[in-house]
A and B are shown apart, each in its own frame.
Chain A
Amino acid sequence: MAETVVGGVDVWKVYGTGEAQVAALRGVNVDIRRGEMVAIRGASGCGKTTFLNCFSGLDEITRGTITIEGTNIQALTDRQRSEYRAKRTGFVFQSYNLLPVLSAVENVEMPLLISGIKSKEARHRANEILTGLGLGDRLHHRPAELSGGQQQRVSLARALVSRPAIVWADEPTGNLDLEGTKQVTELLRQLNQQFSQTIVVVTHDLEVANACDRTLLMQDGQFVQ
């Protein structure tokens, strides 16, 4: 059996104080294995995005323990967590979050530069992955000059270019039409199988969930299935 990559024990995330307190995560326990492609589903406001933010190291938790590749990420400093994100994780968001002032290839090479890859090598790898994703003729276009599907493919390329251990995807098909959704889902599945990367996808989309190895259903800040 593959090793645990993402582990969570009794993870709580509470927003606000006093009577205004809202518990977005209520004692979440989770175990995601290397090479798994897992879908997180649930109704709006159930805590899916909070789960992603906390487990990816973007946000602090209130209580509990999260281990990523055996490391308790709560014990890391902000700088260590940044370094960890740079080297071991990739992100895909619903609205792509590409930097509008950078071209497609510059967006994709950014994580490589942050993690210490030389400019030339970074540019080569960014070109390669974008070409592989069918964007060879869009390398120097800025996000505003790309369609939604193309932007999401750039976003995927950016998440995967540094071969991260885990890719966190938050509603990656939320802004796409049916065709775009199909393309992105196939890409995620293909990359997961090709590079054995762990992919955690927060999604409403049943088609995306069906393409995953398993689906975790979240309700009121807890996994119920």
Chain B
Amino acid sequence: MTDSTIVVLVGIVALILLATALLALRSRLTFRIAMRNIRRSRSRTILVILGLLVGTTIISGSFVVGDTLQELELHYTYLGGGLTDEAIYAVGPSGGYTYFPYSTYTQIASSALPNPSIAGMTPMIIDVTQALDKSTGIPQTNLNLIGVNGNQSQVLGSFVADNGTSIAGPAPGEALLDDQAAQQMDAVAGNTLVLFGRSSLVVTVQAVVQDNLRGAYLTGGIEGGNVFVSLPTAQTLQNSSGLINGISITNVGSQQDGVGLSSSVSASLNATLAGIPAAVGLTVHEPLQDAVNAASSAATSITSIFLVLGLFSIVAGAMLIVGIFIMLSEERKGEMGMLRAIGLQRGDLIRIYYFEGLFYSVGSAFAGALLGVAVGYVLVYAFSLLFAGGGLTATAIFQSFTVTPDSLVESYVIGFLLTLITVVVASHRASRLNIVRAIRDVPEPPPPRRLYAYLAYIGVVVAALGALLLATTLHGSSDISDPILGGAMLILGGGLIASHFAPNRPVFTAVGLGLLLWAGLEPLHRAVLGTTHSGGIFVLFVEGILMIGGALLLYIFNSSVLVDGLIRLVGNRPDRTAIVRIGLAHPSRQPGRTVITLCIFALVVFTMVAVATFGATVGSNLQDSIVTESGGYSFVGVSPEPIPNLPGQIANNSTLNADFANVVPVVNGQVNVNVTGYSFNPFADSLYAAPTGVPAASNFYDTNQFTFYATWNGMTPAEVFSALETNTSVAVVDQTYDQPGGAVAGAPSGPHPTTAPGSLIVLGRPGSDATTQVRVIGVLTEELITGIWVNPTAAAHLGYVNQTLYFLTVRAGVSTTTAANQAKAAFYRSGLVLYDIEADLASSIASTQGFIGLLEIFVGLGLAVGISAMGIVALRAVVERRREIGMIRAQGFTQGMVLKSFVLEYSFVTLLGLAIGASLGVLIVYNLSISATAAASGVTSLDIPWLNIVLIVVVAYALAMAAIAVPSIRASRVPPAEAVRATD
């Protein structure tokens, strides 16, 4: 949020307060009455403020979580980015940096360094190395090799050894290890390392350095590890004498200042490169700016998730505010009637409520904003316990706890305005009273016919706006919530118009049903709206609110039918019938009053159940996807260079042979993919080809268990793989080729191309004229190993014969960790890196579940709204129904029967709200699971977490019953004579 926005928000609040002060001066009597109303019952004032602060608490809590995550992300982003604001390099076909002469650096430096925004430039080698600590005997693969001279890299900052001494840079023939790399090999200063690159080299560990701005470069100190050597040492290791593969540019000022200069410095550097013939192919990148943007975007996304889910609780909070003000107005109906009788205008009553509401708004928004900080603190604490791992420690997460003044001000102002607007609307409603009926406490009659005429006019406007929104967004690619909202407005507007001409019950029953079906039926969306719309988490809010609104309309206009059915069900015993009739009379005959509580519970439980079901569904689909994504293999392995006859080497090694049952080497390379109709051809992707004619145990075509999302002409998976094995003009693609309009993060040339089975695509080798046309005969279900599978002859035609990708299957009963360590020990020199797909997916599942759990806790806060509402409604009922209670007691109701009827009434309301919320929560996730987006994301089945849902329902019900316990007991103890005397 910008400073000017904050100023505007604060200005709005200040204006409101100033205007209120002036109003109070002009209308002192109403102000005095309002202040006395606040003071008349301290406990009531506290109760009202507690009820009102929930919305602000949720907003504030969301912001605090967002601030903290942003702080955390930025911390590690800046740590990993170091002081490299721009980088100059070229990416080769294999994905690594291309080497170029050192002299190119000197040319670039001589032209660029005069730029006053540039503090310095550092020539570097950045590559991958394998290492063996000869002192500990522990190897490690896939380490970052960073070759840099100390005297040339002063602008990048100093290394700090673990003992605190400052080191300018690695000495020739020695290596600096960052904490991560040192831990992986158990290395300490003085140990001897063997480094493996394009050649091998023995070096001494000069020092273990801290993961500070310099030591944590590229890794952020979280994942991987760094080996820093001098530039000549790196050149020797990589057989690249006189060559480097990257230039780091550091801008003047702090890291934040430097990032701010990135755009202009990049432009200047691009101009410089354009003037140097030797620099052709080199490009300028802004790694720190890109990483900061990505980190901010990720944090904003998470904040959005919390805010959107919190919206349900915020709406529930607004409903609670309305409920509280209805309670206050009902309670003071008599005195308000008297005030009107002695001459106060309706506007005066509004002012009384307004002054009182403003006081509550100021106080509750303040308390809510602070309470939100506490909620955020608890969430961050939970987050630190759930997500700590690797280099990311719980302490680091927890220390990132951040509350920015902007967020506090923003949540205060939003909470204040939200509360105040609701209060004003509720005050307007509360001030509309008939003086005589108010004084005599006579119930209000049904609304006059004139009201329905007004509703019809409103209906025309709503329907027209809805039709416009629907028409303009029906076939576009806008967020799908737009046309859904448009359709809903059309239905609602139509209903309001119809209510002028037809009885309410059929009209609004139809509207309720219409909203429920329109918002809740995914196949209907597909049929009417197509599949071109985008969708975000806001859809959840729109559909959720509409479905719950529809369900509530159905209840309001059909409650008596529902309750009469229930009475018939349980009404065998006369005394039970009496209790049921009294208990259910109010929810069924005065559903308007019940609906606020019902709505609050439905909203809160909807989000809780939706989040839980979503988590379970994603988790179970991830579980299901393990075989789909891994093809049934235990590991996917990669090596920078081919490992000759890896299956044979493993078979001949007694230890490894006992670990691995099957090893499949695969040719791997980079291709340019040309897809007909794709605007951004060519699309760079990976190429895979499994060898043919090998023994069955190592034959990919016989051993893989990959499944297909779609095949050509209904071919079976076996037929597809058989064709791939024998036919050089066919191909199989991963599922990312079947996602309509799907953008791929990091895709350099635009959105991912799409293709269907049967299509022809042209593959070409980058930097070569070799091309081949192939027909896509299958789209794999997996999308972990992205790219295109062809016959090895087709790959060879493109010049790819090296096998650098491997699928390995561990024998039954062998630990994957043990097998991986033993394979690493045997092949670390070749740089073999094994990825345990199952473990990675299990880790994803655990993270997902952790995050979902966190969200559940967060949305569960909304239960506080429901409980407050229930308690307030029950307290009010005891006062309001005192005469009724007295009368039924006079007729012979025992205390126990009164208690039972109260418990029954609130159980009915709570359980109905829970049932509506839970069923719609499951429904919305079901819709998600059958949507096109879900299928493309690998979510194909719904998993309902019954135990979790039962737990949510039981806890919510128990809390609601706890909230009504005291009022219910008080109701049962109302002395009948006093209750009767009070009114007669």
Interchain CB contact under 8 A, A58 and B890: yes
A53, B980: Cβ atoms closer than 8 Å? yes
Interface assignment of B824: CB less than 8 Å from any CB of chain A: no
A112 to B581, CA, bound (A): 13
- Quick check: is A102 within 8 A (CB to CB) of the other chain? yes
Interface membership of A97, Cβ < 8 A: yes
Contact of B894 among A79, A100, A117 (CB under 8 A): A79
Residue among B578, B590, B886, B984 making CB contact with A110, cutoff 8 Å: B578
Residues on the B chain within 8 Å of A78, using CB:
894-895
Verify if A99 is at the interface (C-beta below 8 Å from B): yes
Which listed segment binds B: A28-36, A67-75, A88-96? A88-96
A125 located at the interface, meaning its Cβ lies under 8 Å from any Cβ of chain B in the complex? no
Q: Establish whether residues A101 and B586, one from each chain, have CB atoms under 8 Å apart when the complex forms.
A: yes
| B984 A112 Cβ-Cβ under 8 A | no
Decide: A82 near B889, CB < 8 A? Known: A93-B980, A113-B581, A119-B577. yes
If A83-B892, A113-B578 touch, whether A101 touches B984 (CB-CB below 8 Å) is: no
Least CB distance from B882 to A in Å reads 11
Determine if A99 and B887 form an interchain contact, defined as CB atoms under 8 angstroms apart: yes
Contact yes or no, B984 A170, CB < 8 A: yes
User: CB within 8 Å of A: which of B547-601?
Assistant: 571, 574-575, 577-578, 581-582, 585-586, 588-590
* Cα A142 to Cα B588 with chains together (Å): 13
A79 to B575, CA, bound (A): 14
- Whether B977 contacts A58 by the Cβ 8 Å rule is yes
- Chain A residues contacting B588 (CB-CB under 8 Å) are 101
Judge whether B884 is part of the interface by a CB distance below 8 angstroms: yes
Could you give, for residues 880-906 of chain B, a 1 whenever the CB lies within 8 Å of some chain A CB and a 0 otherwise? 000110111111111111000000000
Which residues of chain B come closer than 8 Å to A102, judged between CB atoms? Answer: 581, 585, 589
Interface size on B, residues (CB 8 A): 36
**Number of A positions contacting B (CB below 8 A):** 41
Q: Is there contact, CB below 8 Å, between B574 and A118? A: yes
Most buried by A among B443, B582, B891: B891
> Please, what's the 1-or-0 string for A105-146, where 1 marks a CB less than 8 Å from any CB in chain B?
010001111111111001000000000000000000010100
Q: When A116-B575, A122-B574, A144-B445 are in contact, do A85 and B892 touch as well, CB less than 8 Å?
A: yes
CA distance A39 to B896 in the complex (A): 34
Q: With the chains together, A99 CA to B584 CA distance in Å?
A: 13
| Cα-based distance from A167 to B202 in the complex (angstroms) | 110
Q: Does chain B have a CB within 8 A of A63?
A: no
Q: Which residues of A contact B586 (CB under 8 A)?
A: 101
Tell me, yes or no, whether B976 is within 8 Å of chain A by CB. Answer: yes
> Min CB distance, A6 to chain B, in Å?
16
Q: How far is the CA of A110 from the CA of B883 in the complex (A)?
A: 16
B575 contacts across to A, CB distance below 8 A: 113-114, 116
Chain A residue numbers with a CB within 8 Å of B581 are: 102, 106, 110, 113
**Beta-carbon contacts under 8 Å, B854-908 to A:** 883-884, 886-897
Q: Please measure, in the bound complex, the distance between the C-alpha atom of A93 and the C-alpha atom of B886, giving whole angstroms.
A: 11
Complex Cα–Cα for A223 and B105 (A) = 119
* Residue from B589, B891, B892, B983 within 8 A of A101 (CB atoms): B589
With a cutoff of 8 Å between Cβ atoms, the chain B residues found around residue A110 in the complex are 578, 581-582, 888, 891
Which chain B positions have C-beta within 8 A of A111? 891-892
Nearest B residue to A98 by beta-carbon distance?
B887
Residues of B within 8 A of A79 (CB): 894-896
A87 at interface, CB cutoff 8 A: yes
| A86 and B575 alpha carbons, distance in the complex (Å) | 11
How far is A99 from B585 in the complex, measured between Cα atoms in Å?
Answer: 9
Q: Do B888 and A99 have beta carbons less than 8 Å apart?
A: yes
Check if B975 is an interface residue, CB within 8 A of chain A. yes
Residues of chain B lying within 8 A (CB to CB) of residue A87: 892
Q: Once the chains bind, are B891 and A86 in contact (CB under 8 Å)?
A: yes
Q: What is the count of residue pairs linking A and B with beta-carbon distances less than 8 angstroms?
A: 110
> What B residues does A114 contact at CB under 8 A?
574-575, 578, 888, 891-893, 897
A115 vs B575: C-alpha distance when bound (angstroms)? 7
Give the complex CA separation of A144 and B574 in angstroms: 26
Contacts of A85 in B (CB 8 A): 890-892
Does any Cβ of B come within 8 Å of A49's Cβ? yes
**Known: A85-B890, A99-B585, A99-B888. Is A116-B984 also a contact (CB below 8 A)?**
no
Q: Which residues of the partner chain B approach A106 to less than 8 Å between Cβ atoms?
A: 581
Question: Does A59 lie at the interface of the complex (its beta carbon under 8 Å from any beta carbon of B)?
Answer: yes
Which secondary structure dominates chain B's binding surface?
helix
Given A49-B984, A93-B984: A99 and B884 interface contact (C-beta under 8 Å): yes
A101 to B892, CA, bound (A): 19
Roughly how many angstroms separate A102 CA and B584 CA in the complex, as a whole number?
10
Q: Which residues of A contact B978 (CB under 8 A)?
A: 59
B883 touches A97 (CB 8 A): yes
- Contact in complex: A94, B984 (CB < 8 Å): yes
Given contacts A101-B586, A110-B581, contact A144 B443 (CB under 8 A): yes
What is the distance, in angstroms, from A82's C-beta to the closest C-beta of chain B? Answer: 4
B449 lies within 8 A of chain A by Cβ: no
B450 at the interface (CB under 8 A from A): no
The answer to whether B578 touches A171, judged by C-beta atoms less than 8 angstroms apart, is: no
* A106 to B891 Cα, complex, angstroms: 13
A171 CA to B981 CA, complexed, in Å: 12
A116 close to B574 (CB less than 8 A): yes
Q: How would residues 895 to 939 of chain B score, 1 for a CB under 8 Å from any chain A CB and 0 otherwise?
A: 111000000000000000000000000000000000000000000
Knowing A59-B977, A99-B884, A101-B590 are in contact, say whether A91-B984 is a contact too (CB < 8 A).
no
Give the Cβ gap from A147 to chain B, nearest Cβ, in Å: 13
Smallest CB-CB separation from A80: which chain B residue?
Answer: B894
* Assembled-state Cα–Cα distance A79/B443 (Å): 32
Question: With the chains together, A110 CA to B975 CA distance in Å?
Answer: 20
Nearest CB of A to B583, in Å: 11
A97 engages B886 (CB within 8 Å): yes
Closest CB-CB distance, B48 to chain A, in whole Å?
A: 27
| A84 closest partner in B (C-beta) | B892
Q: Which chain A positions have C-beta within 8 A of B443?
A: 100, 144
The closest CB in chain B to the CB of A83 belongs to B892
**Which residues from chain A contact B980 at a C-beta distance below 8 Å?**
53, 58, 93, 97, 170
| B574, B577, B590, B984: the one within 8 Å of A171 (CB) | B984
Residue of A nearest to B578 (CB): A113
Residues in chain A near residue B888, CB distance under 8 A: 99, 110, 114
Do A82 and B894 touch across chains, with their CB atoms under 8 A apart?
A: yes
Q: Tell me the nearest residue of chain A to B567, going by C-beta.
A: A119
Q: How far is the CB of B706 from chain A (nearest CB, A)?
A: 64
Which residues of chain A are within 8 angstroms of B590 by Cβ–Cβ distance?
101
| Nearest-neighbor residue (CB-CB) of A143 within chain B | B443
User: How many Å lie between the Cα of A144 and that of B884 in the bound state?
Assistant: 15
Q: How far is the CB of A161 from chain B (nearest CB, A)?
A: 11
In angstroms, how far is the closest chain A Cβ from the Cβ of B573? 8
CB proximity of A145 to chain B, nearest CB, Å: 9
Contact status B585-A82, CB under 8 Å: no
Q: Which of A83, A91, A170, A171 has the most CB of B within 10 A?
A: A91
> A37 to nearest B CB, angstroms?
20
Q: Could you tell me which residues of chain B, from 689 to 731, have a CB within 8 Å of some CB in chain A?
A: none
Q: Which residues of A contact B892 (CB under 8 A)?
A: 82-87, 111, 114-115
With A79-B894, A87-B892 as contacts: A95 and B445 at CB distance below 8 Å: no
Whose C-beta in chain B lies nearest to the C-beta of A91?
B890
Per the bound structure, the CA–CA distance linking A100 and B883 in Å amounts to 11
- Looking at the assembled complex, report how far the CB atom of B330 sits from the nearest CB atom of chain A, in whole angstroms: 14
Give 17 A-B contacts (CB < 8 Å), ordered by A residue. Answer: A53-B977, A58-B889, A58-B890, A59-B975, A59-B977, A78-B895, A84-B892, A85-B890, A86-B893, A99-B582, A99-B888, A110-B891, A113-B574, A113-B578, A114-B574, A116-B575, A158-B891
Task: Name A residues whose Cβ lies closer than 8 Å to a Cβ of B.
Answer: 49, 53-54, 56, 58-59, 78-79, 82-87, 91, 93-95, 97-102, 106, 110-119, 122, 142, 144, 158, 170-171
A-B residue pairs, 6 tightest by C-beta: A86-B892, A59-B977, A53-B977, A101-B589, A113-B578, A58-B977
A56-B890, A97-B887, A114-B574 given; 14 more Cβ-contact pairs under 8 Å: A53-B977, A54-B977, A58-B889, A59-B977, A82-B889, A82-B893, A85-B891, A86-B893, A93-B980, A100-B884, A114-B892, A114-B897, A142-B589, A144-B445
